[in-house]
Structure 1
Amino acid sequence: MTAAAASASPFVLAACAEMLRTELPLHERIRWLGEHGLAAEIWDWSREGVDLAAIARTGVPVLSMTGYLRGDLTTPDGAEELLATARESARAARRLENDIVGTPRLNLHGTGLDGKGLPVRPIAEVTGEMWVHATRTLTRIAELGEAEDVVFELENLNLAVDHPGTPFARPADTLALVRGIDSPHLRLNLDLYHAQIGDGSLIETCREALPWIGQIQVADVPGRCEPGTGEIAYPRVAAALEESGYRGIVALEAWASSDPEQAVTAFVDAFTPGH
């Protein structure tokens, strides 16, 4: 039933393989998502245990992965490192080409995050000089995306719960940077879980950001589990997105509150208006 319902959604539905069925090897989790009619997303493609060849053999489209391994948007040395590892990521993405988005979208943040999601270089206050430097660096990222024929995406995060000290974390920050550069090779990864914790007003945020959205990620608040476990009215968000003409990627980046099968079913139901 989940696969049939997923095909009826007006959106391209995916789920993060890093957070569901974690007892399985990563490529087996991806295969499981495909059996449920979902595309997959992954995090750090370079880490030990990630077999890109095995993932490709599953035949399940991978729509997003980490777009850098080190670096940041706020310092000269960090920018050079980010650009160098972004080039590595672009070339790795070619190993997972698919018919939906070509190569996986390549995800970026204001700074590198450690294994606990905390910034490697925490920032107490983002200065005007940092904004200028971030704009220059992302302009170069967009140029790299054009040269390598890939799309990078800048993701908003939340400061209150998961990622304190991360620069350019709010949706307004990421939108301002991406809109200012306005390149098809630099889009937004609009994460509504993070946005709800930081600012709320999700439907208006989606409408304002719509021309620059590369994908939307979702989880409920609190708890970062599937839709229906918290306070966000995701069916209403889905209806507003459909009414606005959005037909792109919506990805579940959430833990299962109990049963992974039920989690993906709740997600698909929430993003299949009228289902």
Structure 2
Amino acid sequence: MSFTLAVCSEMVHLDLPHLERVRAIHDAGFAVEIWDWTDKDAEQLAGTGARFTSMTGYLSGDLVTRDGADDLLRTAEASIPFAHAIGCPTLNIHGTGLGDGGIPVRPVEVVTGDMWLAALRTLERVAALAEREGVTYVLENLNTEVDHPGTPFGRAADTLALVRAVGSDHLKMNLDLYHAQIGEGNLVELVRRAVPYVGEVQVADVPGRREPGTGEVRWSYVARELAEAGYGGVVAMEAWASGDSDVALERFREAFTVA
């Protein structure tokens, strides 16, 4: 089994304008992921010939407050035409909107039972929107120890529980193994539990959020476990290059090429 390998265009080839980064990633044989779409031109991106596998699928809002949920749904709906224009099937959301430096706009210290129920209702609305529009939304786990303190439903176990509870083919989990390694560890067992509900996998090494092979995770082993668990979808490198971006991309390819 092989994966579709994608690279986040926001984190490599930073010496190039964004459109040139997309072309460089495409020319190297990878699909492309983007973050915020509002500063990009869909026609220009589509003109690169690149395959786009994921993009941020909302602009603001949260899962638990009435106004926040309405805002998340409104901005999610506004994001979908851009996704269609570039042929991107998967849109990413988080437990709450993220501001500068990845800090939650609405940090949460304690997630209550009422918040869980509110998040479930909001995600059911997201899944219904996605089904109507022919796309898939993925809910990403985030670590709260280093990068995103105060993010509700940040743990992989939490995002998995919410996705399972919604039970829709149009709402999946974005299993970010970088965040999971920092927050929970035990990646192989996590992969085995989560794969039936996963719509995308993202990777970066720990510590440092650099490409595979620069940190503590044995990625070739994780890749084999993903394949043996039946996952054949997108694996995306959402990582900073430790040095030369072309070298970083090749290290990623080597780690996730399963013989």
Q: TM-score, normalised by structure 2?
A: 0.98
| Identical aligned residues as a percent | 56
Tell me, in whole angstroms, the C-alpha distance in 1 between the residues paired with 2:151 and 2:230: 32
1:13-41 Cα offsets, whole Å, 9 max, x none, are 00000000112121211110011110000
Question: Which secondary structure does the structure 1 equivalent of 2:154 belong to?
Answer: coil
Question: Which secondary structure does the structure 1 equivalent of 2:236 belong to?
Answer: strand
Shift of 1:229: 0.5
Query: Which of 7, 16, 21 is the equivalent residue of 1:24?
Result: 16
Question: Which secondary structure does the structure 1 equivalent of 2:102 belong to?
Answer: coil
- Comparing 232-241 and 22-31, the one that deviates more: 22-31
Contact 1:27/1:51 (<8 A) preserved: no
- Number of the residue aligned with 1:83: 73
Tell me, in whole angstroms, the C-alpha distance in 1 between the residues paired with 2:216 and 2:244: 20
Tell me, in whole angstroms, the C-alpha distance in 2 between the residues paired with 1:168 and 1:153: 13
Shift of 1:74: 1.3
1:160-202 Cα offsets, whole Å, 9 max, x none, are 0000000000000000000011101100100000000000011
Question: Which secondary structure does the structure 2 equivalent of 1:116 belong to?
Answer: helix
Stretches (4+) displaced over 3 A: none
- Number of the residue aligned with 1:124: 109
Query: Residues 202-221 of structure 1 correspond to what in structure 2 (within 5 A)?
Result: 202-221=187-206
Tell me, in whole angstroms, the C-alpha distance in 2 between the residues paired with 1:62 and 1:55: 9
Tell me, in whole angstroms, the C-alpha distance in 1 between the residues paired with 2:14 and 2:100: 16
- Number of the residue aligned with 2:138: 153
Query: Which of 34, 38, 41 is the equivalent residue of 2:30?
Result: 38
Is residue 72 from structure 1 mapped to residue 62 from structure 2 by the alignment? yes
Is residue 224 from structure 1 mapped to residue 206 from structure 2 by the alignment? no
Tell me, in whole angstroms, the C-alpha distance in 2 between the residues paired with 1:265 and 1:231: 18
Tell me, in whole angstroms, the C-alpha distance in 2 between the residues paired with 1:182 and 1:147: 16
Q: TM-score, normalised by structure 1?
A: 0.93
- Number of the residue aligned with 1:15: 7
- Number of the residue aligned with 2:47: 57
Residue identity in the other structure for 1:115: D
- Comparing 131-140 and 237-246, the one that deviates more: 237-246
Question: Which secondary structure does the structure 1 equivalent of 2:80 belong to?
Answer: helix
Is residue 192 from structure 1 mapped to residue 177 from structure 2 by the alignment? yes
Tell me, in whole angstroms, the C-alpha distance in 1 between the residues paired with 2:18 and 2:188: 33
Query: Which of 236, 255, 258 is the equivalent residue of 1:251?
Result: 236
Residue identity in the other structure for 2:255: A
Tell me, in whole angstroms, the C-alpha distance in 2 between the residues paired with 1:206 and 1:212: 10
Question: Which secondary structure does the structure 2 equivalent of 1:20 belong to?
Answer: coil
Contact 1:96/1:104 (<8 A) preserved: no
- Number of the residue aligned with 1:134: 119
Contact 1:11/1:248 (<8 A) preserved: yes
Aligned length: 259
Question: Which secondary structure does the structure 1 equivalent of 2:101 belong to?
Answer: coil
Tell me, in whole angstroms, the C-alpha distance in 2 between the residues paired with 1:184 and 1:243: 22
Tell me, in whole angstroms, the C-alpha distance in 2 between the residues paired with 1:88 and 1:12: 27
Shift of 1:104: 3.2
Structure 1 unaligned segments of length 5 or more: list them.
Answer: 1-8, 98-102
Tell me, in whole angstroms, the C-alpha distance in 1 between the residues paired with 2:73 and 2:23: 32
- Number of the residue aligned with 2:218: 233
Tell me, in whole angstroms, the C-alpha distance in 2 between the residues paired with 1:206 and 1:243: 10
1:70-107 Cα offsets, whole Å, 9 max, x none, are 1000100000000000001112111011xxxxx33110
Residue identity in the other structure for 2:15: E
Shift of 1:115: 2.4
Question: Which secondary structure does the structure 2 equivalent of 1:86 belong to?
Answer: helix
